[in-house]
């Protein structure tokens, strides 16, 4: 009988087996990602820190996101998600940094950056992957979708780094 793990259970299992720690850097998900991971028994062995960096000032002060990046590309961008993930790993400090930045709505979207646009960054020991997502639904649904996608990306990156179940 094969046990089916939730994405967050799989992440905690993979991190634990590798002896890795993770730190989160969240904007649009506002701590929901860290909270989802923390729901898993044994998470205390792998979670190091969680940063909720909703403002640009917080992204710069706590994660080391460059002001130039924010001015040139904006808070909701591949470049910012990358620097947030790297910053979470560095300032956590942790082996893995996972970040979310996006527009959960219902306001704040533009033609170029609509409501539901989310970038997720994952940094595993210096190797960074960024995924662009476009979600629909209510603010709560978009935030939950971002958490689910972040966990999927985290597990994919961990597996690709040689940490298979």
For residue 45, pLDDT beyond 90: yes
CA torsion, points 33, 37, 150, 14, in degrees to nearest 10?
160
pLDDT digits 0-9 by tens, 69-121: 999 999 999 999 999 999 999 999 999 999 999 999 999 999 999 999 999 99
Q: With bands split at pLDDT 50, 70 and 90, how would you rate the model's confidence at 161?
A: confident
Percent of the chain with pLDDT over 90: 95
Stated pTM of the model: 0.96
pLDDT of residue 49: 98
Average pLDDT score over the chain = 96
Quote the CA–CA distance of 80 and 83 in Å, as a whole number.
5
CATH code given to domain 7-160: 3.90.950.20
Q: With bands split at pLDDT 50, 70 and 90, how would you rate the model's confidence at 163?
A: low
């Amino acid at each position: 009988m094969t046990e089916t793990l939730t994405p967050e259970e799989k992440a905690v299992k993979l991190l634990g087996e590798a002896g890795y720690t993770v730190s989160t850097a969240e904007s649009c998900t506002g701590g929901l990602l860290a909270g989802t991971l923390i729901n898993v028994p044994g998470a205390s062995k792998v979670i190091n820190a969680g940063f909720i960096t909703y403002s640009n000032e917080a992204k710069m002060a706590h994660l080391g996101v460059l002001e130039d990046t924010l001015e040139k590309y904006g808070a909701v961008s591949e470049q910012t998600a990358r620097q947030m993930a790297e910053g979470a790993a560095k300032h956590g400090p942790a082996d893995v940094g996972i970040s979310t930045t996006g527009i959960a709505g219902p306001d704040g979207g533009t033609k170029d950056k609509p409501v539901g646009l989310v970038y997720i960054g994952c940094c595993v020991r210096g190797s960074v992957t960024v995924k662009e997502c476009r979600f629909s639904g209510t603010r709560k649904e978009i935030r939950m979708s971002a958490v689910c996608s972040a966990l999927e990306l985290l597990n994919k990156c961990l597996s690709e780094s040689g940490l298979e179940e």
